[in-house]
Amino acid sequence: MINAEQYLSYYQGHRRLTRKTLAAFPADKFTTFSVGGMRPAGGMAKELLAMGGPIIKSFATDVWGTWDEDRTPLAQADALAQWDAGTALIEQYWPGLVAKGFDREITIFGQWPGTVRSHLLYLLDNEIHHRAQLYTYLRALGIEPPAFWER
């Protein structure tokens, strides 16, 4: 349906929107505010940061670390800096991922089997899911979230 470069562009558009969403938080609420017992923004950011850049790099290099279970929330400035570093990793390693193909069977972090293609779709689904939670938080704080179509 779409080629590798179109997917990358689409994914990076979603990442830009998620970054805007993280940046919209008041810094003092980033690690503390939550709704309904969910993790604060800094906790969700930590999960998303463990996925994007590192997973793309691992797809390209076949070198996998372990899944970091520590969910101590990150401060907003740290999360945004790491987000930008993750974006650079994606750009750097995307060509290597494409060269190796999308239909390879891979078990990421030794835990989750699937094809590269299925994992790429999950990365996007997971990010959208958490961004929706962050939108709820922003609205609960009286802050209008970024328009979802402005990627």
Which residues of the chain are modeled with pLDDT < 50?
A: none
Pair of tokens at residue 114: 């699937």
Buried b (16+ CB within 10 A) or exposed e, 102-124: eeeebebeeeeeeebeebbeebe
Predicted pLDDT of residue 26? 96
The residues facing 66 across adjacent strands are none
pLDDT of residue 32: 95
For residue 109, the model assigns a pLDDT of 78
Tokens of 121: 């779709």
Domain 4-140 superfamily per CATH: dinb family like domain (1.20.120.450)
Phi, psi of 105 (to 5 degrees): -85, 130
Q: For the chain, give the number of residues.
A: 151
**5-47 pLDDT, tens digit each:** 999 999 999 999 999 999 999 999 999 999 999 999 999 999 8
Q: What is the pLDDT of residue 110?
A: 78
Q: Hey, how many other C-beta atoms are within 10 angstroms of the C-beta on 127?
A: 20
Average pLDDT along the chain: 93
Q: What is the pLDDT of residue 31?
A: 96
